[in-house]
Amino acid sequence: MGVVNVSPDSFSGDGVIDTEEAVARAKQLTSEGADIIDIGGESTRPGSDPVSIDEELGRVIPVVEKLAQDILAPLSIDTYKLEVARQALDAGAKMINDVWGLRKEPALADLAAQKGVPIVLMSNQRGSSCQDIISTVISDLKRAIGQALGAGVPWENIIVDPGIGFGKTQEQNLEILQRLDELKTLGRPILLGSSRKSFIGWVLDLTPERRSNKVTFIPPGDQRLEGTAATIAIGIAKGADIVRVHDVREMARVCRMSDAIVRGV
């Protein structure tokens, strides 16, 4: 899954606003090996300001409309807003990626059921704390799966995401990767979104520079490339079925090599 951030403040430093630039990026990612394109119009980095529904629609809908005509790869809409998801599906998107796992907007499950599209349910711990992260994530995902099934989403259209980042401590992010295979008890495909996340910078001592008590933001970019590759390879070994990445060309190679070793394909 290749990431197209149609926002100026993406944590990963790759956000774009211009529709044509976003379309060109998506086409590049598919040429590099992306099987799915995930389009989002609101930054999910800690401390980012939420955007209005109208602003998010203005960012993503033209991109979805254009890409639905121009590329064969299915499009995923990364949103927790019902109206954004609805209009994106009408414009040609084929999947919903909900970073709040139906907590913010339960009706996303009804929409997914109505449209017959897959939905990614992510476990998000922002605003809460927990001691046993894996138990908390599994419990939260069971809750979300139950909601989706109750709304009529077919079992085979549900994908789960443990939510690397999103309210976890850096140690808990590492623990999720160490114990990712425990999510197999849920019986659903696992999506892993570790690409360029802050815990990689934390482990590799690539945190923002501090000069004169001011923090200078350093876009992760290729500074976290090797760290991301390690998380992808280990994630696949632990059972990840979909990996959401910014650096598709390099990570597609990591996936192929990891699959050859782990799955013999």
Q: Which residues are catalytic?
A: 197, 244
Strand-pair category, 119-122 with 158-161: parallel
DSSP calls for 156-184: GGEEEE--SSTT--HHHHHHHHHTGGGGG
Alpha carbon distances (Å) from 31 to 1, 34, 64, 180: 12, 7, 17, 29
Alpha carbon distances (Å) from 116 to 119, 158, 159: 9, 11, 14
Strand-pair category, 75-78 with 209-211: unpaired
